Structure 1
Amino acid sequence: MKFIDSNHSQMLGQAMNAYALRQRITATNIANADTPGYKRHQVQFESELQKAQETNGVAGMKNVTGAIEETNENVLLEDEMIEMTDTQIRVQLVTRSLRHHFQMLRFGITGVNR
């Protein structure tokens, strides 16, 4: 069923996975803020998504996953809290997009718009 499991829905699913990973990594950064020698980790997703779009188009975007990388930066609690808030906003956006996608599918199948 290509219309249910479309490139769009698969890419949004990958985005949800990447944002869940980003939230875990941010929480780990916050938990280790006072650990001597600990360096901040981050999840790259949007830049990888953009690269995939430029090279393979929309079809390549569905295979992009978040990549964890260690930076040479120390953890700043304020920056991590901003990162957590930004990620939560992105999760809400992807959730709304998925909800809309499935509402349109339901409307197409049933003809009832709720």
Structure 2
Amino acid sequence: MSFIDQSTVGLLSMALDATALRQRAIAQNIANANTPGYQRIGVSFETHLGALQNTLKQGGTPSLASLRDLRPMLEPVGKPGDPVALDMEVAALSDNTLQQQALLKVLNKHMSLLSTAVNEGKR
């Protein structure tokens, strides 16, 4: 498997990890909607992709080490005690589910292409 394939699978894997972590954060926000002083949480992942995008725009190639540094993380959102808008959380949950499904389709397509290349190479 080439470097590009490893980077693609690695990035897709991290994006899927981010959707799973985001699912957990949204569930926690919904569960604590009526908790006084609760501070919403979110996931920082896409914001950290800016540096990677800049590297790619400048014609650079990201290293696997730089991809490892892009792990999704929970972070506080807003101010403690700000109300949790349940309708917004449910909408975020729906968006996150759609994003996860799209990422799974891309990963499946990528693996299918790799499988075709390997199987065609055996002939």
**Structure 1 residues 56-65 or 99-108, which shifts more?**
56-65
Matched pairs, number: 111
Percent identical: 35
Question: Unaligned regions of 5+ residues in structure 1, if any?
Answer: none
**Structure 1 residues 70-79 or 98-107, which shifts more?**
70-79
2:22–2:43 contact (8 Å) kept in structure 1: yes
Q: 2:96 matched to which residue of 1? A: 87
Which contiguous aligned blocks of 4+ residues in structure 1 show a shift greater than 4 angstroms? 55-58
2:55–2:61 contact (8 Å) kept in structure 1: no
RMSD of aligned Cα (Å): 2.1
Secondary structure of 2:30's counterpart equals helix
Alignment of 1:62 onto 2:71: no
- Offset of residue 6 of structure 1: 1.2
Q: 1:41 matched to which residue of 2? A: 41
Evaluate the alpha carbon distance shift between residue 42 and residue 58 of structure 1 in structure 2; reply closer, same or farther with a 3 A threshold: farther
Q: 1:12 matched to which residue of 2? A: 12
The structure with more radius of gyration: 2
Q: 2:28 matched to which residue of 1? A: 28
| TM-score normalised by length of structure 1 | 0.85
- Offset of residue 68 of structure 1: 1.6
1:25–1:41 contact (8 Å) kept in structure 2: yes
Evaluate the alpha carbon distance shift between residue 66 and residue 104 of structure 1 in structure 2; reply closer, same or farther with a 3 A threshold: same
Question: Unaligned regions of 5+ residues in structure 2, if any?
Answer: none
